[in-house]
Structure 1
């Protein structure tokens, strides 16, 4: 019997062991300024159900979040990539936010394919418009987190995520890309520029083979914290071939049985206000409508 010819690239749908990039956690010293930046300027949505006090904020962006607990400011050594639905509306919000954020490190600049934004404490965020060819069908989300890493580390980083985390990883155009969720990647870009010391910020991933990753980390002495039945952490990214330390960023590792796994997040439409209102348009779908 002749096999039917497959018109699709089946490997393009292969995910790997990591299936969720849920949040980036950065301490902020001022919740009011954090609200002005993440909610008013970027147009994200404060989680209405969890962590609603004045000492922390969860800001929703599609299926991902920023976690923003109060404390000495932390700075991610790299850039967070966001997709936001409307560039002109974003620029209007960014301009309006100057009145609240003047005197801080807040800044923004238009580039050809994105708007480069700096938060009040120096974190870099690259805001893109929807682009199906580049980011798939999302109109609101966090498609990548990019880290600045020392020279001569990319090959070892690729080995670490392939062999320890069991995530698809490859070097493309001089940048290491690690697939950690549908349509979401960690990228690592080498730089000669001096980098600040690691200050404790973290990202959160979820693993199907939760125990397998734990075992491979444990045998190398890399588990930094045991949180619960559903969660542990590691900080050091090392070359599996020789144990050489390549980079540090805390990974909060969850199982797919974690109570918060794939929790549905509320996303608002920032174009709707009390003065520009249309019934039923308050909520925003984070993906494009059917083709």
Structure 2
């Protein structure tokens, strides 16, 4: 029997019940403008295998995606975080698409580690340079989706994720709650007095290891909003488990680990490569840092 003292923090590797933050879904009215912003500007990669027509686009960002179906524009009530490989290249790309997006809500401003960018319809994307201490060994990906919520809501929100979904969640100081929904990926809820528009139907997709347990709890409270398939259901309302009070609304597309697309590998391109500086063998991008 091994009697040596354990030098490892085993709890640090516990994910809880959530194992995937796969996509953020936002309708867009113009696929050409969406391509200019998400692909040419942010440097993401259009999924080459699925949704390749003109009515929807899936934009790969490391292990996650933006889903951008055509329709009336949806605006996430908060900010999506995005890690990008190179700050200077990001700023150059965003400057180059300014002309294509003139007359829209597109804007960007430099920050210390990246940029604050706004899509043509008002979605806020906070771009960061890779930072192992903050985001883990990720060079490209969606480390968090942050929602603006009402003052006093975050305690109940943390309890909801812990008690109803079995997801590790906690409050951070005053006015912030964080839910761990995959390795190095969080849903963040930040209290604000800023007015919020009505919920317009946008959604995030997560996967749960215990798929049925949370379903039973949500169903008992009348919170299941849609039955999609054997492997997927949805809910919209986050409530205080103690009081039932409504705290926030954002649709969650919930998948099982047996879903046919769980953990699907995604193609990511090297956005720094073009026809003028092409180098054979460097088209793909590894979205995690090399060993060490």
Do they fold alike, i.e. is TM over 0.5?
yes
1:267 aligns with 2:279: no
Provide Cα deviations, 1:182-231, integer angstroms capped at 9, x if missing partner.
11000000001110000000000001110001001000000000000010
Provide Cα deviations, 1:36-76, integer angstroms capped at 9, x if missing partner.
00000000000000000000000000000000000000000
1:177 match: 178
Q: Superposition RMSD on alpha carbons, in Å? A: 0.9
Deviating above 4 A after TM superposition, structure 1's stretches of 4 or more consecutive aligned residues are: none
Query: How many correspondences in the alignment?
Result: 291
1:245 match: 246
Q: CA deviation at 1:2?
A: 8.3
TM-score w.r.t. the length of structure 1 is 0.99
TM-score w.r.t. the length of structure 2 is 0.98
2:285 match: 284
The secondary structure found in structure 2 opposite 1:141 is coil
2:100 match: 100
2: distance between equivalents of 1:7 and 1:251? 38
The secondary structure found in structure 2 opposite 1:98 is coil
The secondary structure found in structure 1 opposite 2:282 is coil
1:112 match: 112
User: What are the ranges of 5 or more consecutive residues in structure 2 without an aligned counterpart?
Assistant: none
Provide Cα deviations, 1:213-258, integer angstroms capped at 9, x if missing partner.
1001000000000000010000000000010000000000000000
1: distance between equivalents of 2:42 and 2:99? 15
Task: Assess if the C-alpha contact under 8 Å between 2:87 and 2:113 holds in 1.
Answer: no
The secondary structure found in structure 1 opposite 2:227 is strand
1: distance between equivalents of 2:155 and 2:170? 9
1:160 match: 160
2: distance between equivalents of 1:27 and 1:146? 18
User: What are the ranges of 5 or more consecutive residues in structure 1 without an aligned counterpart?
Assistant: none
